[in-house]
Amino acid sequence: MAQPRRGQPHEPHAAESSTMDAVRLRRVNRWLAQDLGGELADLYVDSRETSAAEAYRSRSRLDFLSRLTGDIRRPGFAMVIAETDHLVGCAFGFPVASDGIWWLGFDGALPQSIEQLTASGGVFAITSILVQPHPQDQDVARRLQERLLSGHQASLGATLVDPGDHPTLTSLRSWGWLDLGEVWRPAGPTMFRALVLPLGERTTARLEGLAHDAWTRWPG
């Protein structure tokens, strides 16, 4: 999952607060998401590394567009964008299939509570959160996440994060995400950290044990 870059703690000025208050969130369907592909790819590159060589930026755009196209084709795909007079952020994902294939490559035994929620169709995977670099980008990212998940009858949010992406891991942890462990994807092979976000009191209660263990599982 791509996230905005993090800088030093910043106290927003009045003008900056006004700008962020003006950010509008709206849902877009898969066809509009496809039409926005070029802008979303630019946002992806800008949110990661603006000083990279042009060849690397072009390759990153193509890789992102390929992943986006694959996600758009998935049943239940959903996207929320953030905009002012231009696109400043987006979050998208899809419901996790009840067959549990999304968890393929999980290292160890998947917790029973997660298996049950998956089998009941109660898990929604967020595959990307992108935000244009800004002193308050974390707030926009959090709002995008909340809006995307609130539109589905999901009991649990799920995502995979590069273990070396400590800023993203730290942000998700501060928003209540819990670390389940490692997932290995055979195409890489690439290892990710699997994180989940319980939605609602009943789900939170079922995952209390995970919440307790998350502090020791979290990568340093």
Tell me the per-residue pLDDT of 7-44, one tens digit each, with 9 for 90 and over. Answer: 333 344 444 444 455 889 999 999 999 999 999 998 88
At 11 the pLDDT is 42
DSSP 91: E
**CATH code, 72:** 3.40.630.30
CA distances from 182 to 26, 91, 147, 160, 193 (A): 33, 23, 27, 9, 5
**pLDDT tens per residue, range 137-191:** 778 888 999 899 988 878 899 999 989 888 888 888 888 899 999 999 877 668 9
Reply yes or no on whether the pLDDT at 203 is more than 90. Answer: no
What average pLDDT is seen over the chain?
A: 81
For range 75-104, the mean pLDDT = 94
Question: Does residue 82 sit within a domain?
Answer: yes
Question: Does residue 9 sit within a domain?
Answer: no
H/E stretch holding 198: strand 190-198
For range 60-80, the mean pLDDT = 93
At 136 the pLDDT is 66
What pTM does this model have?
A: 0.80
Which region among 29-38, 112-121, 136-145, 208-217 has the lowest average model confidence (pLDDT)? 208-217
Question: Does residue 8 sit within a domain?
Answer: no
At 200 the pLDDT is 75
Q: Which has the closest alpha carbon to 111: 176, 174, 163, 179?
A: 179
Task: Provide the domain count of the chain.
Answer: 1
Question: Does residue 146 sit within a domain?
Answer: yes
Q: Which domain holds residue 186?
A: 14-217
Reply yes or no on whether the pLDDT at 52 is more than 50. Answer: yes
Question: Does residue 80 sit within a domain?
Answer: yes
Question: Does residue 2 sit within a domain?
Answer: no
At 65 the pLDDT is 92
